[in-house]
Chains A and B, each alone.
Chain A
Amino acid sequence: DTAVSQTPKYLVTQMGNDKSIKCEQNLGHDTMYWYKQDSKKFLKIMFSYNNKELIINETVPNRFSPKSPDKAHLNLHINSLELGDSAVYFCASSPAGAIYNEQFFGPGTRLTVL
């Protein structure tokens, strides 16, 4: 009965490859997010989607492309992976719109680029 799930949990790949991380939420939320946590634990928003539409794109390289087939899913595709992309990526969801809404986070995907 996981609320926000991500697959895979660990991803090890070579530089230059293309990879995807999947996220699904079963909370009925309208808004989903991707955050990146770097090696120093700093957490930063990457994307926000509301009802399958992009709301925020925080100056993320265009090698990163989120795709939302429906409001329960927000996948993250990364092309031409670089060493600096190594991080933990968290998906989150919240009810739509209001700033007071608690965001529910997935377990994270640890991406290692060799």
Chain B
Amino acid sequence: AQKVTQAQTEISVVEKEDVTLDCVYETRDTTYYLFWYKQPPSGELVFLIRRNSFDEQNEISGRYSWNFQKSTSSFNFTITASQVVDSAVYFCALSANNAGNMLTFGGGTRLMVKP
């Protein structure tokens, strides 16, 4: 079985603050992929990033960065200099060999960025 935990259900920050969203996962597979999706208030699910279990390099894309640490089974997401438009629910998800390519989602973290 696989599981994704996002312990922070809700985070509130003021614009321009940095914020980190935590994600911890469990799987018995050695080959797996981790994803982050964003769900803005409009409701659609927007793909942000994919990372495979063999690549522990951190990734940066503009104000977004991701820190993957296999030793702690974590895949955390940091937004630098947050903006009001970053307000959304963010989901971490896991896909592994034994699960038929289905995504197992965490419970989501609601991020509110106040002006």
Contacts and interface: CB of A to CB of B under 8 A. Distances in A.
A44 interface: yes
Contact of A56 (B89, B95, B102): B102
B26 to A, nearest CB: 16
Interface string B77-115: 000000000000101000111011111110110100000
Contact of B95 (A55, A58, A90, A99): A99
A103 interface: yes
Given A41-B108, A42-B107, A100-B95, A108 B43 contact: yes
Interface in A82-114: 88, 90, 92, 94, 97-105, 107-108, 110
A74 to B, nearest CB: 14
A99 B31 contact: yes
A100 B102 contact: no
B96 A99 contact: yes
A76 interface: no
Interface string B21-39: 0000000000111010101
A99 to B, nearest CB: 4
A35 B100 CA distance: 14
Given A99-B97, A100-B33, A102-B35, A48 B102 contact: yes
Given A41-B107, A42-B108, A102 B43 contact: no
Interface residues of B, number: 27
Contacts of B50: 100, 102
Most buried by A among B47, B103, B105, B110: B103
Which 6 pairs, one residue from A and one from B, show the smallest C-beta to C-beta distance?
A105-B45, A43-B105, A99-B95, A45-B102, A41-B108, A100-B33
Given A41-B107, A90-B45, A99-B99, 17 more contacts: A41-B39, A43-B91, A43-B103, A45-B102, A48-B102, A55-B101, A56-B100, A94-B101, A97-B101, A99-B33, A99-B101, A102-B35, A103-B47, A103-B103, A104-B47, A108-B44, A110-B43
